[in-house]
Structure 1
Amino acid sequence: MSDANLPDPPEGSKKSKVAPVDLETWANVLLQKLFPVWYCVRYVSEMPMETIGDINPRSFLSHRWLSVSAANLAAAESLEKAGSQWKDCAQLLRRIYKTKRYKRYLSMRNVTAVESSIVDTDYQDIIEYAENECKDIPKHHAEHFDALSFEVFGEKSKHYPFAYREWDGRYYFCNTDEPRNFSALLMHCRDKGRDLTVKADIEIQHVDIRTVEIMRSRYWMLLMKRESAYQIAYLIRASKIPCQLAEFEWRRSDLVFLVLKKTDYRTAQIVEALFRRHFPRGVIEWGRYLCTHSVPFRNR
């Protein structure tokens, strides 16, 4: 009798097929349940993390720079929705950004950007914008300098609006028109070694360091890639440690804050492991960033 004609074996005599057990996965699940903090520390020490990149890029448009105000506001709004235990941190974030105004004479050599333009190309600074967008504007001779100066800053009694950011030392012109004449004027100053000093109403944008220090004494504000933050937050919550995710500014929706309280000593172990492996390329401590990036305003 050929094999093809053999009857099927009885039902009870069939060998059951059992899926093989993944011992490594089983062991990891067991370790996570038995030693959640240790497992989290080990995980963040070994996990790959994407680099954050430049959070404050150069551009001839100031609204493409890092906005401390927008970042703090977005994080505060997220924390306010997360429950009462995070409202203190949200209130501190709202108090960090400050402004004040001074009327001063300002050298145009210090200005690298403007507030608005209809041009989509992302030039590095206002001079690069002038080189590409203002080729048709005469700007090579002294009479051109005089004409452009009068066109842009011709009202002698007026203080023209500028802004200065103390966290990066950048000035920008708060323009209302397309900045073609303004940028052509700056290009002439650069090419001819000249300077122009104008009456300026300068808005000083700065951070309240005292409030930042209070926040740093109570919370970790860890900025990282969104996917990495989700993974770490899952493990931290499995360790029964309070944590919360808070949004960063809209320009970098790929980034998010992981917020932890410093009242729980276990967070120090996790953060230390995270910093030892991934700081500063993969994670930035927001309070530290604000404290170390400071170029105080002075009349120059």
Structure 2
Amino acid sequence: MTARIIDGKARAAALRARVGEQHAAFERAAGRKAGLAVVLVGEDPASAVYVRSKGKATEAAGMASSTHRLAAKTSEGDLLTLVRQLNGDPAVDGILVQLPLPGHINENAVIAAIDPNKDVDGFHPVNAGRLASGLQGFVPCTPLGCLMLLKEELGDLSGLDAVVIGRSNIVGKPMAALLLAESCTVTIAHSRTRDLAAKAAAADIVVAAVGRPEMIKGDWLKPGATVIDVGINRVPDGEGTRLVGDVDFDGALSVAGAITPVPGGVGPMTIAVLLRNTLLAAHRNAGVAYEKGSL
């Protein structure tokens, strides 16, 4: 058996196309474009690449994109002042502060300062609480993208056993909440879980978001399991480097039923969901209705 490769690029392209179509209708109804403001503090190379990609994708969908680049030495107070200005700007529907921030800035304070109705990253405590309580709110982009891939691959997830390996506020915890809402039986595991391999071997769904290259081995998996690999790790490869996930992809291919590749799996979905969240925010902020289920 060879696992099916879940093509995140193709599925993200389809979502971006739907967002573009829905945005055109929004623009006609609202008389303006949806607006996303991205804040980048410092010169972290990976963050700079992500910010450029987000800006290009936003503009490709027809939305207005603005990027605020601040020096690494920017004070927490100055960053919070910018966030408050963006909160009050009616042309800005979504605010994304690129993480990680420099060490002298309290990330939690910055996230909490964002208007929850413009928190398209879904990190604000209000939105985290809404997700945990089963209420409507913005959901972090990566786990929501993972859920979309799972539902397109498997259809109804009800009753399936799922293991989420990773417990971050950005991926692990919201992923578990989303799977619970789909009536999965969910185990949250992590790098310190005892007999992690046995936990993974019992799961119909494995979501790997632990941040350790190729940590999850193929022989850990239940035959036929669906594997969503969130990890993006750069490892040495001869004189250069290459990207690998948290799952030993080659080892998993002969065991899993379906698996996302790295790159080309979850990553493209993250940006597509960000556009979706921004468009939903724009509809709410402008008081424009949208067809439920279209996004």
TM-score (norm: length of structure 1): 0.24
Larger Rg: 1
TM-score (norm: length of structure 2): 0.24
Higher relative contact order (CA 8 A, sep 6+): 1
